[in-house]
Amino acid sequence: MYVYRYAGAQVFPLFFDCYHLKCCHVCSFDILHIFAMNSTDPVQEIRPASTVVDQDELQIPLIDFGPFFTGTPSDKHAVALSITAAFKTSGFLYLKAHGIPPSVVSRVFASSAQFFARPQKQKEALGWTTPQSNRGYTTIGREKLTTVEETNSDTLRASAPDIKETMEIGREGVESRPNHWPDSLDEEGKEFKETMQSFFEMGQNLHKHIMQAIALGLNLPEHFFDEYIDTANNTLRLLHYPPVKQDVFKNNPNQVRAGEHSDYGSITLLFQDRHGGLQVRSPSGTFVDATPIADTIVVNAGDLLARWSNDTIKSTRHRVIQPPKSGLEGPEVNPEIYPARYSVAYFCNPDDDKLIEALPGTFGEAAQVDKKYSGITAGDYLIQRLTATH
């Protein structure tokens, strides 16, 4: 019978009857430990969840997901608890050993760059038509991301439009939301489709495993969320932030590459290039750099998961600005122009028809809090948010 402690934070029981534990050593290291109820049992260390961002009360850990796939049941619970602890505090984490090979990620980035290098007319012919479809190409300046509280997107877009173009891809076979592929244009377009379809399935698989980890971390059955994500109602978004003259940011203090926002769905899997620019809002209101780390992905909780967890989990605001100075080094860099930035975001959502209500254990007498939100289907919620964005 074991009890976990994460970096001196709250004690999380592996089994509910672990509450009978009489005492527990307080761990002072940034590492997960397991403490046996019998004091003569040795302490068993689990892989560390090291803190890689620690500034202005914002802490973002780097978590090794490998033991969740191949470790013992204790390893699996330890990883699950570290993920949930991160989502309850900063809402962000870096994940390594996530199961998607670096070679695959490199191929996706290369294919994305080739797509955005196409003539503008070709890209616009693949454009999305309605927020409900959320499929296809979006040109620079069309989108202004928002938070839950913001409604006047037209004013925001006019003052400082996002400097990026995007391509959204979803699950195949949905008649009301068809994908817009460039496969009819040339061989490169066919390769693009094959690459993205394969990557979409990999993202779907990782989404499932992370939701299983979240379930365990919230003392729910491991497969609690499986029925909610059966149809993979996810969106693969390719993003291109074109080169920008530095004067653009100097002349407009409000200008950013992607405005301050929170994500809409359950979780987001973000793959970054080396240039950086992602910033996460700290509890003190400052924006802190989430610098790219090789062979990791950034995972953050979205608004729907926060709502689902009755705000036990945090959906934290973030933005994309010009790269930090450390990302502007090298002989090929033009000192007057910020270089292009590419990223790949995999937005994970429940199935459209699933009713989202406060999860068990997040409300009531034990949690000492009432339900904060009425029930809503995932599809209705996401359409509301997408309509405010475009």
Instruction: Let me know whether 233 and 303 are in one domain.
Output: yes
Instruction: Let me know whether 174 and 256 are in one domain.
Output: yes
pLDDT band at 10 (very low <50, low <70, confident <90, very high): very low
CATH number at residue 379: 2.60.120.330
How far from 136 is each of 127, 133, 188, 223, CA to CA, in Å? 5, 9, 17, 32
Domain count along the chain: 2
Instruction: Let me know whether 246 and 192 are in one domain.
Output: yes
Express each pLDDT in 243-283 by its tens digit: 888 877 777 767 777 889 999 999 999 999 998 899 999 99
Instruction: Let me know whether 41 and 107 are in one domain.
Output: no
- pLDDT value of position 119: 97
Instruction: Let me know whether 247 and 157 are in one domain.
Output: yes
Residue span of the structural domain in which 37 resides: 1-45
pLDDT band at 128 (very low <50, low <70, confident <90, very high): confident
- pLDDT value of position 332: 61
pLDDT at 292 over 60: yes
Long-range Cβ pairs for the range 52-57 (8 Å, 24+):
52/94, 52/293, 53/90, 53/92, 53/280, 53/288, 53/289, 53/290, 53/291, 55/282, 55/286, 55/288, 56/282, 56/283, 56/284, 56/286, 56/288, 57/282, 57/283, 57/284
- pLDDT value of position 338: 84
**Average pLDDT taken over every residue of the chain:** 83
- pLDDT value of position 259: 84
For the four alpha carbons of 48, 53, 56 and 57, in that order, the dihedral sign comes to: negative
- pLDDT value of position 189: 97
Express each pLDDT in 84-119 by its tens digit: 999 999 999 999 999 999 999 999 999 999 999 999
Work out the average pLDDT over 67-90. Answer: 96
Instruction: Let me know whether 6 and 107 are in one domain.
Output: no
- pLDDT value of position 43: 40
Instruction: Let me know whether 30 and 153 are in one domain.
Output: no
**Bridge pairing between strands 235-241 and 165-170:** antiparallel
Instruction: Let me know whether 245 and 110 are in one domain.
Output: yes
pLDDT at 291 over 60: yes
Instruction: Let me know whether 173 and 235 are in one domain.
Output: yes
The encoded tokens of residue 231 equal 């149809």
- pLDDT value of position 218: 98
Q: Bigger pLDDT: 389 or 84?
A: 84
Instruction: Let me know whether 171 and 27 are in one domain.
Output: no
pLDDT at 52 over 50: yes
Return the minimum-mean-pLDDT range out of 17-26, 114-123, 163-172, 322-331. Answer: 17-26
Instruction: Let me know whether 10 and 58 are in one domain.
Output: no
Instruction: Let me know whether 70 and 15 are in one domain.
Output: no
Percentage above 70 pLDDT, the chain? 78
Express each pLDDT in 324-365 by its tens digit: 654 555 556 677 888 889 999 999 999 999 999 999 999 998
